[in-house]
Chains A and B, each alone.
Chain A
Amino acid sequence: MVQIVIRGSVDGCSPPQWLLVELQGEMVSRHNSGLAGNVMGDLLYTKEGVPVLIVGHHILYGKLVKLEKPFAVLRKHSGDSPDSYADDATQIPMETDHQGLTSTSYTVSALIKQKLIFKTRPKPIITNVPKKV
């Protein structure tokens, strides 16, 4: 049997808190070049605190919601490839004497307790508005 450890934190403290942004649908990069490194869009808040997202030619309105059940972001570390993530000097291999078992482990990178959810239909941004005659 395998035992895989999920470490709460590297230094015994509570993990940092991140924000979740929830969108409907899929995200595809414009030039099919993959998403990594690309700009996604702009996030703003109205003075009343309503989050507004501008993605490409669309504008979406959302709301800030507290999650009923928080999420933990887990980062996987495989035993065979040393991971250079932060201070992993304390990583203890799970299986030392057993054969055939990987020393895979996870760390909790962050906790997420709130999300910005954008459920409304995106409105297209019209760039060319015919001038009134």
Chain B
Amino acid sequence: MKITLEEVQATLQIAKLNEEDLNPTIHCLSFGENVSSADYCLMELDDTLCKHIEAGQSLVIRGDKDERAVLCSCDKTYDLRIANTSNLLLFVPGCKTPDQLPITQDRACVVHAEIWGFCNSYWEPRKQRPKLKKLKKLLMENPYAGVPLAGQEESKENRYTMQDLLERIQASEEEIKNHLVTIHACQIDGCWCGLDFDYEMKLLSHVTQLVDSESWSFNKVPLQTSLEELAPLEPREMIEHCLNCYGRRYTDKGEVFYALHEDKVCRGLALMLLQNAVKFNLKEFQEVWQQSVPEGMSTRLEQLKGVVLVDRASSPETISLLKVEDLPEDTLERFNLLFTLREKWTEEDITTYIQDLCGEKQTTGALLTKFARSSLQNGIKVFNSRRPVAT
């Protein structure tokens, strides 16, 4: 049943609205046929998401039955929540705003606009850090540990293609790709897998020992020669992978070289030394560590931020392994574990281990205020747990 102009004008008269004060276009709104039956919803967009959609790009929602749904663009991850409003939101495709209407028009006219849908809630994406811990866990199910011994076959199970990973990890593709580089994952026959730590250290040792024995500058490690010298020991792809993980590739006069990254190499060798000890005497460790790195490289404790814990309160001072990446992803669980390991933390020490928990616009200070209690010890501010913790 369509309303006529006369009916609308009658309504205006009853409402005591003066036609002279009004724009002559009148929208008659009615509910579309599919308003209650079609499956639709509203989603709020931030600037980045809006530009994505305007460029015609897609987004993906990822989640397991028992996980919170996550929205991913090609390079960002968002938490998805539902926001409710007490107001009614109607969406009208054919409705114009005053600036879109003709200003001068002699006669009044009626435009029929259909209300396509309505709701009182909408999806609200909130940017968040991607859940990548699962990625390392999956890739370490069957890590590569070198060429299998004679008579043994290498197991191809539990190795994942990029597509497999996208179906299991709640993160955007680019975030996943970046993390694969960070954790030194390698691709074998199209499938991704982790690198067994001892094997990785074996590769690194081969490289650093070669550098020393050939008296090369660690900034100019020739790829070709390295591959030739080390090929009898390990597959060429693995040697090259090791160089990619620990150095920067460049070309000089047509030849490929690697500049080994001092911090990465020192850190790797430190991890190797600390791997099997619960605690190490700090002074002894520092001596052995310096001796183990290639000629020309200097070891510094700062290189080990986020992977070791130094105990300066004990006598003698000790050092032990504590990797941020091994800690729980959940904030409360993380704090509980940290306070179980050590009762009181200085701000500097604990910040290293909670930095990655910060969401957008969140500071470590805010986290500490919420999850810890501060006090002064010997004039220094320290943090401890808000609840009794068994140490």
> Which residues does A use to contact B, with CB under 8 Å?
1-9, 11-16, 18-27, 34-47, 49, 51-52, 54, 59, 64, 69-76, 78, 98, 108-112, 114-117, 125, 127
Contacts and interface: CB of A to CB of B under 8 A. Distances in A.
Interface in B168-192: 168, 170
A76 B28 contact: no
B35 A14 contact: no
A69 B45 CA distance: 6
A47 B11 contact: no
A22 B87 contact: yes
B29 A35 contact: no
Interface residues of A: mostly helix, strand, loop or mixed? strand
A24 B27 CA distance: 20
Contacts of A69: 44-46
Interface string B37-79: 1111111111001101111111111111101000100000000
Contact of B60 (A5, A9, A25, A75): A5
Contacts of B99: 49
Contacts of B14: 125, 127
Nearest to B61: A4
B199 interface: no
A54 B15 CA distance: 8
Nearest to A43: B27
B21 A42 contact: no
Contacts of A11: 56
Contact of A1 (B25, B37, B39, B64): B64
Nearest to B53: A8
A21 B95 contact: yes
Contacts of B60: 3-6
A37 B29 contact: no
A36 B33 contact: yes
Interface stretch (B115-123, B269-277, B330-338): B115-123
A68 to B, nearest CB: 9
B29 to A, nearest CB: 4
A21 B44 contact: no
5 contacts: A20-B90, A25-B87, A44-B26, A46-B22, A71-B44
Interface string B95-112: 111110100000000000
